[in-house]
Structure 1
């Protein structure tokens, strides 16, 4: 997992040779909300990018807290990394996510 600022991510968040295949926009109001909180791991065979627009929290990678994030950060999740965003801020967590295909 890599954490970048929006300024650093321009031109680098989508690795060379990859295209945005699909994505979405999410808002989670509840403090303590954990994305993909179903049993088992949550991984992809392709990289995933999260752009954080509002709120803050912790990114969990492979079952352990990896880093804090806040509005303006871009998170690049590598293929195979089990990942979850945990909202721990005072305002709703708002982000966009994108899966990257070769």
Structure 2
């Protein structure tokens, strides 16, 4: 896991804003998430209902609002507005939202291809 702040990012004219810390030419999937108070993400969604959540690529979480902790392989790291967390391949990860100031995050993955909505249509 890597933790940095939005202010640590270098200005970009081309490519995606996280290209220095999130491998891949294009942002390829992601979303905006509004966590409930005290919510823990990805609980019991592993194989056979186990409490385990990993990816084969990196995933970025940008904390847009709120506070909480990012659980990485059982260790809890405090996060707050403006933090960027890069989860490495194979790291079991869960985001915990605080009761007092629930978390709003942007999460994303990057890869060699653009999101399917941004790809050119194949002509037949």
Aligned to 1:100: 110
Aligned to 2:93: 83
Contact 1:9 1:74 in 2 (8 A): no
Q: 1:51 to 1:16 in 2, by over 3 A?
A: closer
Q: Is there any run of 5+ residues in structure 1 with no aligned partner, and where?
A: none
CA RMSD of superposed structures (Å): 1.9
- Looking at structure 1, the residues matched to 105 and 78 of structure 2 have their Cα atoms a distance apart, in angstroms, of 14
- Looking at structure 2, the residues matched to 34 and 24 of structure 1 have their Cα atoms a distance apart, in angstroms, of 17
Contact 1:13 1:76 in 2 (8 A): no
Following TM superposition, where does structure 1 have runs of at least 4 consecutive aligned residues deviating by more than 6 angstroms? Answer: none
Aligned to 1:37: 43
Aligned to 2:62: 51
Aligned to 1:28: 35
Task: Indicate the structure whose relative CO is greater, using CA pairs within 8 Å and at least 6 residues apart.
Answer: 1
Q: Taking structure 2 as the reference length, what is the TM-score of the superposition?
A: 0.72
Q: CA deviation at 1:16?
A: 7.1
Deviation digits for residues 32-73 of structure 1 (CA, Å, limit 9, x no counterpart)? 2101011331000110000001111111111222x1110000
Q: CA deviation at 1:88?
A: 1.7
Give the number of equivalent residue pairs.
100
Q: Which has the higher strand share?
A: 1
Looking at CA atoms only, which structure, 1 or 2, has the larger radius of gyration? Answer: 2
Equivalent of 1:68 in 65, 70, 78 = 78
Is 2:4 the partner of 1:4?
A: yes
